[in-house]
Structure 1
Amino acid sequence: MSQVIVSGIITGSLYALAALGLVLIFKTSDVVNFAQGEMAMFCTFIAYTFMTFVGLPYYIAFPLTIICAGILGVIVYRLIIKPLSKSNVLSIMIATLGLIMILNGLAGNIFGFETKSFPKLINAKNINILGVSLEPNSLLIVLITFAIMLSLFFYFKTMEGIAIRAVAQDVDAAKLMGISVKRVTVTTWIISSMLAATAGMLIAPTTFLDINMMSEVHLKSFCAAVLGGFNTFVGPAVGGVLIGILENLVGKYISLAWKTVFAFILIIVMLVVRPNGLCGKSYRRKV
């Protein structure tokens, strides 16, 4: 049981990281970026290129890829999101669906369609803690994930972070307070893209690297955001860890065939019982 729960926390932390990027964009622009997974995949291929073809070590390729991810976030915003800013939200979300096909095709034609092996951060023997076997690479993944979330927690207390929270709460009020909504939106796209790239580089060593590597993870991260609550920054972390643990328990004690199905059943139940998620709040608008 303990081994299953710990494994679920490791997997769930990655779902949480990817889900946080979704929530950041949604709270500031009311848009669900369906291409978040593809952006993560594309950036992971960039990291792979840095390490294999350029010959850079992991600790240099990682930050360089994060920078490239930020640039990709700006490009997506400038070329797709900003021109559609006066359109309805549905049109923008459809555009992100089209972006899935664009990035998928670009990645395949530039980097190849064959499956590749992505290097691990640490290659070492498993360690045993209180009867639970832990792979050092997986343990480091959890530490990195929680370090990023803790950094974001403190970032949201800075002036820039407060501006993001203000825009997320009320765009019109933020404008009246002199906050540049456009700058905040660009910043959230940059951060979201960086979170996606980080999730991709942490996930790739545990599975494989190809153009479809983030398909299931992206769906699970979306489920994590819905479960925890799309209108809160804490929700993705809670939802991601819960989905990771629960799907592992289902796979262990019921059937592996139901492992993925269970996550979506859980989301349907959550939408019926508590539409705002476990950590979400319902807001009433006075007329």
Structure 2
Amino acid sequence: MSQVIVSGLITGSLYALAALGLVLIFKTSDIVNFAQGEMAMFNTFIAYTLMTKLGMPYLLAFVLTIIFAAIMGYLVQRIVIRPLFGSPLISSMIATLGLIMILNGLAGNLFGFETKNFPKMLNKNNIVIGSISIDPNSLLIILITIGIMFVLFYYFKYAMKGLAIRAVAQDPEAAKLMGISIDKVTMSTWMMSSILSAIAGMLIAPTTFLDINMMADVHLKSFSSAVLGGFNTFLGPVAGGFILGVVENLFGRYASLEWKTVFVFALIVIMLVVKPNGIFGKEYRKKV
């Protein structure tokens, strides 16, 4: 039982990390970026290329990939999202669906369609505590996820730019009257979200292997984590990710492995009926 729960927390941390990027964009623009998973996959291929083709060490490739991800987020916002400003929100979300196919096809043609092994950040022996065995790399993922959540909490509560993002999220028109540039705020959130996707991809790839479809299941589960925990808070997707990971592992271990995914999505449907804003979500006010 203990090992199953720990494994669920490790899996859940992957969902939570990917979900944070989704929530970041949604909080400021009401847009669900369906291409978040493909952006993570593409950025991970960049890191892999830097390490294998150019022989860069992991840390340097990691940093350069984060820079590339920030540029990608900037370009996506400027080229795909910004021209749709003022259009119905569904137009922007459909654009992100188109971006999925563009990035998926581009990655396949540039990097190949075969599965690749992506190196772990840490290559150490498992930590054994009683009957529980923990991979140090998985433990690092949990710590990074929690750390990012606290950094985001501090940034949005105390940093001036973070306060500007919160102001735009609550009332764009009032924020604009106060001298806040909505365009710059939106651009910065897309860049931050893209960086989060890159970090998630590089940490997830060693557990799922690297290919153009590596994020398909994780992205769907990360979206579910955000719905479960609450789409309008940073605590929600992290807690939702951990809960989802543990619940699906317990169901798969003690009930049915084949029906595990079905059970997870049934749980999400029930949550939407019982508590539409999620476990930790606040009542949603539509911006007018």
Task: Tell whether 2:30 aligns with 1:16.
Answer: no
Count of matched residue pairs: 287
Partner residue in 2 for 1:267: 268
**% same residue:** 71
- Which moved further from structure 2: 168-177 or 21-30? 168-177
Contact 2:127 2:135 (C-alpha < 8 Å) held by counterparts: yes
Partner residue in 2 for 1:208: 209
How much has 1:60 moved relative to structure 2?
0.7
Q: What's the RMSD between the two structures over aligned residues? A: 1.5
Superposition pairs of residues 59-138 of structure 1, within 5 angstroms: 59-138=59-138
Paired with 2:171 and 2:69, the residues of 1 have a C-alpha distance of 28
How much has 1:280 moved relative to structure 2?
1.1
Contact 2:277 2:284 (C-alpha < 8 Å) held by counterparts: no
Helix, strand or coil: the match of 1:257? coil
Paired with 1:124 and 1:256, the residues of 2 have a C-alpha distance of 29
Paired with 1:237 and 1:30, the residues of 2 have a C-alpha distance of 19
How much has 1:274 moved relative to structure 2?
0.7
TM-aligned CA distance change 1:71 to 1:283, over 3 Å: closer
Partner residue in 2 for 1:171: 172
How much has 1:284 moved relative to structure 2?
6.1
Paired with 2:265 and 2:59, the residues of 1 have a C-alpha distance of 36
Helix, strand or coil: the match of 2:122? coil
TM-score relative to the length of structure 1? 0.97
Partner residue in 2 for 1:186: 187
Partner residue in 1 for 2:27: 27
How much has 1:230 moved relative to structure 2?
1.1
Partner residue in 2 for 1:254: 255
Helix, strand or coil: the match of 2:84? coil
TM-aligned CA distance change 1:83 to 1:138, over 3 Å: same
TM-score relative to the length of structure 2? 0.96
Paired with 1:221 and 1:279, the residues of 2 have a C-alpha distance of 16
Paired with 1:136 and 1:210, the residues of 2 have a C-alpha distance of 24
Partner residue in 1 for 2:279: 278
How much has 1:87 moved relative to structure 2?
1.2
Give 2:230's aligned amino acid: G
Helix, strand or coil: the match of 1:83? helix
Give 1:60's aligned amino acid: L
Which segments of 5 or more consecutive residues in structure 2 lack a partner in the other structure? none
- Which moved further from structure 2: 160-169 or 109-118? 160-169
